[in-house]
Structure 1
């Protein structure tokens, strides 16, 4: 069976990555020998620039875990080998990185997460895309996502999301659940003793969005509430206009405990919200106790 690439959102841009390398589960082997000196230099420069921006903007847990990728920011000179990161990650939380050629469909993606296997794209952007790239590349996936997989509570949340995703697919609710991923794992904010901080990979891997999300007065920032989050559309080609905040990773984990089926049923009767929409009167009061993600 031929493995087909995935198109990002509504884009008509040709998908990136060599999908002929992928197996039935969309995973493949990291083609480390294919990286050029320029590829390694691009990764190293991205890493050093982003690491220098983290103090005061990234959450404590992310900053503490960043060295687990295996290199000090001042000494980064190459793209990491996934198998070397896996030795440390398995000991920490039982997760493993698996290589994928690019974006993959929902069911394989959810399945991998449910198995504590995190898909990491292995190609890297060109120097011309240094400041912005639409699709996730190896820098976004490794720098943005992997450090927090060393945090036990957050790692458990990501697995629970994968388990819930398989159920959402069966219920036709993937669009609603994808917004929870977007506004937490990709673009989540957390309140800590030092103030507002970023934990979402899309923020942490972007020099511009990191400052915008944490410091700019322009976006609205709301407490994470499942109904509001799952009704809110998002942007893929500009900075986010809305962010959702949590107080702790334990809060995030606890919020997604149980069965989301009643929540999906309610959401089908409620209007969606634009990415920048300010809602003054929600359709109904928030539930006293939140439903949960995985049965």
Structure 2
């Protein structure tokens, strides 16, 4: 993985590095560059008055410019000065991974750029949204601290099985929308699949609710006075359409509080309302209120039930500090949680580090253990001293019978007692039988038995405690690429934009301008952006006849393609304003 001489990236854990792809800057075409330039010029024209932070200084702090698509080396050269970094990925990555990057102070940037037809807004992650939206405000220390803290909380959020289905459906639909070869049948099928899943989600998970807080703050947040707020959300800062429309009076501006979790969102449509925070410290306070309800802070039976519903790797932390990571499939949750069980590869850890000999290869078929105290014991098993262990017959090499208050019995020969920081965290047995009445949890013929020690489950969170130890299991990503390919007509368009870019960089030449202009025709709607650029060049160089020629052609475009009116009008307006300011 390229780290761009940024220590923030060098310190990323291995399990996150597998999501990172090379930017391959050379693949951005002249059309891509024109797209970036148009959006950024529009953003500056409008956002210089309504963005929370000074727009141009913010761009410079993040290593961005209006003229060209950002280079990851240049971005990291700037971001590392404020303790952050940036990496490129291929489209969507799982929400938990996105949050963890954020917790490590790393911006995740989609390597691709939107298509021309999605210039105002794209449902798929792209470099315009991720870099021009998120990066410039990182220079605001209070906001950067909130963003990192959100990542730390989000990394622990439990998802449901339905969340994973929804994520995959959204990812597939966004890929299809950005690929030029997608058929209407494929698109309709993907949209129907997404709609079906959305209508059958059930109760929202922790991650679903947390994603709403993320959406209404990091992506679509407003700050300041509710009557005259400023934009700080990246989704608004990178959308040349919604950044303007959202400020209109018909879009309600609600005070931001925890009730924002009651408002779901649709990434494919303009938002029906927005939330205004008085300051960034308020965002952290609301986030903390929600975090107090999450399984990683609450623990107990309800949290274990959430882990079971998650149907993916989670970690249960005992009061002793022992962490059990795996896919939890069943638990005795009658009145009090009495036994936990995983299926498939499981690992045991302490303080986020895997215990030696207790990785996924050793516990390859699952792990089960009681939760709670021994019957009639006056203090927790995890706190037993040597004398108390002897009193209860827990001596290495000797047989013992442990009767838990829950009614579970563990009978076998003690093989090993494992302590961490004066806490007993694990007792291993041979010839062991674990049962309660007629229910048998473990038999001697199954091999050695490792019993977790702890009076209760104090924390439950998503993912493995030692994620790097799980990397070999999780393997490589199997994501369809979201990269788009140029069709023959696209190649012609790319070449036209390359000629325009050369004209701008080498200096104005009237004959060269006319030669390019004559290659454009009103029969191709995609030519509008090139004509806007030619208008801008002529206007900036005082070529009145050429300016008039380009404007007349663009007005013909508006007559023929009414849906282009706003884009063309905005392009002409910005060019005229710039020429006027330069006089």
List gaps (5 residues or longer) in structure 2.
1-14, 161-204, 303-460, 462-583
Q: In the alignment, what sits opposite 1:165?
A: 154
- How much does 1:158 deviate? 1.0
Answer whether contact 1:59 1:190 (CA < 8 A) is retained: yes
**CA offsets 1:143-195 (integer angstroms, 9 cap, x no match):** 11111112211111111111111221279410000000000000000115993
Question: In the aligned structure 2, how far is the partner of 1:258 from the partner of 1:23?
Answer: 28
Q: In the alignment, what sits opposite 2:246?
A: 213
Q: In the alignment, what sits opposite 1:291?
A: none
Q: In the alignment, what sits opposite 2:507?
A: none
RMSD of equivalent CA atoms:
2.7
Q: In the alignment, what sits opposite 2:456?
A: none
SS of match in other structure, 2:109: strand
**CA offsets 1:50-107 (integer angstroms, 9 cap, x no match):** 111113221135554123244554xx1x211112111111112x11001101110022
Question: In the aligned structure 1, how far is the partner of 2:262 from the partner of 2:226?
Answer: 30
Answer whether contact 1:69 1:80 (CA < 8 A) is retained: no
Question: In the aligned structure 1, how far is the partner of 2:278 from the partner of 2:55?
Answer: 15
Q: In the alignment, what sits opposite 2:228?
A: 195
Answer whether contact 1:219 1:242 (CA < 8 A) is retained: yes
Answer whether contact 2:63 2:76 (CA < 8 A) is retained: no
TM-score (norm 2): 0.39
Answer whether contact 1:28 1:101 (CA < 8 A) is retained: yes
Answer whether contact 2:224 2:278 (CA < 8 A) is retained: yes
SS of match in other structure, 2:49: coil
TM-score (norm 1): 0.74
- How much does 1:220 deviate? 1.7
- How much does 1:257 deviate? 3.9
1:79 matched to 2:69? The reply is yes
Question: In the aligned structure 2, how far is the partner of 1:244 from the partner of 1:162?
Answer: 20
Alignment match of 2:275 (pick from 241, 244, 247): 244
Distance 1:259 1:86, change over 3 A: same
Question: In the aligned structure 2, how far is the partner of 1:224 from the partner of 1:146?
Answer: 23
Answer whether contact 2:226 2:254 (CA < 8 A) is retained: no
SS of match in other structure, 1:256: helix
**CA offsets 1:12-31 (integer angstroms, 9 cap, x no match):** xxxxxxxxxx9863111211
- How much does 1:114 deviate? 1.2
Question: In the aligned structure 2, how far is the partner of 1:207 from the partner of 1:104?
Answer: 25
Alignment match of 1:119 (pick from 108, 130, 140): 108
1:185 matched to 2:218? The reply is yes
**CA offsets 1:242-263 (integer angstroms, 9 cap, x no match):** 1110111232234334771427
Length, aligned pairs only: 240
1:253 matched to 2:246? The reply is no
SS of match in other structure, 2:153: helix
Alignment match of 2:260 (pick from 229, 235, 238): 229
Larger RCO, structure (CA 8 Å, separation 6 or more): 1
More strand by share: 2
Question: In the aligned structure 1, how far is the partner of 2:69 from the partner of 2:120?
Answer: 18
Answer whether contact 1:198 1:213 (CA < 8 A) is retained: no
Answer whether contact 2:226 2:255 (CA < 8 A) is retained: no
SS of match in other structure, 1:55: helix
Answer whether contact 1:112 1:162 (CA < 8 A) is retained: yes
Answer whether contact 1:222 1:243 (CA < 8 A) is retained: yes
Answer whether contact 2:132 2:238 (CA < 8 A) is retained: yes
**CA offsets 1:106-162 (integer angstroms, 9 cap, x no match):** 221122111111110011112222223111210111111111112211111111111
Q: In the alignment, what sits opposite 1:41?
A: 34
Distance 1:23 1:199, change over 3 A: closer
